[in-house]
Structure 1
Amino acid sequence: MPDSSPTQQTELEPIPGKRYFTIGEVAKLCDLKPHVLRYWEQEFEQIQPVKRSNRRYYQRQDLLLIRQIRSLLYDQGFTIVGARQWLKGEQAGDDAKRYRQLLRQTITELESIRDLLKTVR
């Protein structure tokens, strides 16, 4: 029987091609609980959903960032402080590490686009 713990890499659903997502939709698409997303907003300054009428609306780049944070924490074993530093590039004192970060983000985005295109066919 496969282990479904958060430390095991899981296939996430492709991100639909819409402009805004509710916290419930993001939680489902990122395999997280809504309270985790609200907590991460406090811990990672990069997560800034649009807030209207006391509701959060996330955009595609927010989902990609949240998935990247999820991967850093759950799959790669980073602490929150370590993931925050990695995202800010503080630990990357040189350009090579910054380049790898940008490359990982690009790969994540391309994989999401590929998955989206697979569902369109």
Structure 2
Amino acid sequence: MELIDKQELPVIPAKRYFTIGEVAALCLVKPHVLRYWEAEFPQLKPVKRAGNRRYYQYDEIILVRQIKNLLYEQGYTIGGARLKMAERNASSTKERSSSKNNPLADIVKDLDNLIKSL
């Protein structure tokens, strides 16, 4: 499911950290909007360094773009977008816990298959 219309948003350069001004330009929102979203969305936590300056990473820019899509394009309220983001986090956590990297999940599947074969 593609959440972002890539034609209208600038390409994210290959950098490790981005200032709030750079993120605002990449996501086409104003810096005060980003600061507000930080207070409203617990997933959005940029690194704060000397002088309390915010530095965003690539994943946080993607998150900002998803939030923007939910609010501006899909018409969610702040509360609705917060719930939607929480649902996405819960489902991705559930997928990771049931992935092949989880040896306990493999054992449970093997035991279920063994019980079914008896």
Q: What range describes the TM-score normalised by the shorter chain of this pair? A: 0.5 to 0.7
Q: How many residues of Structure 1 are paired with residues of Structure 2 in the alignment? A: 86
- Which residue of structure 1 aligns with residue 67 of structure 2? 69
- Which residue of structure 2 aligns with residue 51 of structure 1? 48
> Alignment RMSD, CA only?
2.0
Larger RCO: 1 or 2 (CA < 8 Å, sep 6+): 1
Classify the secondary structure of the residue corresponding to 2:39: helix
- Which residue of structure 1 aligns with residue 77 of structure 2? 79
The gaps in structure 1 that reach 5 residues or longer are: 1-8, 103-121
Runs of 4+ in 1 over 2 A off after TM superposition: none
Q: Once the 2 structures are TM-superposed, how far is the Cα of residue 16 of structure 1 from its aligned partner?
A: 0.4
Classify the secondary structure of the residue corresponding to 2:8: coil
User: In structure 2, what is the Cα distance between the partners aligned to 1:39 and 1:87?
Assistant: 16
Question: Aligned partner of 1:56: which letter?
Answer: R
Match of 1:25 among 22, 27, 40: 22
Classify the secondary structure of the residue corresponding to 2:15: coil
User: In structure 2, what is the Cα distance between the partners aligned to 1:22 and 1:14?
Assistant: 16
User: In structure 1, what is the Cα distance between the partners aligned to 2:22 and 2:87?
Assistant: 29
Length-normalised TM-score, structure 1 = 0.66
User: In structure 2, what is the Cα distance between the partners aligned to 1:47 and 1:87?
Assistant: 11
The gaps in structure 2 that reach 5 residues or longer are: 96-118
- Which residue of structure 2 aligns with residue 16 of structure 1? 13
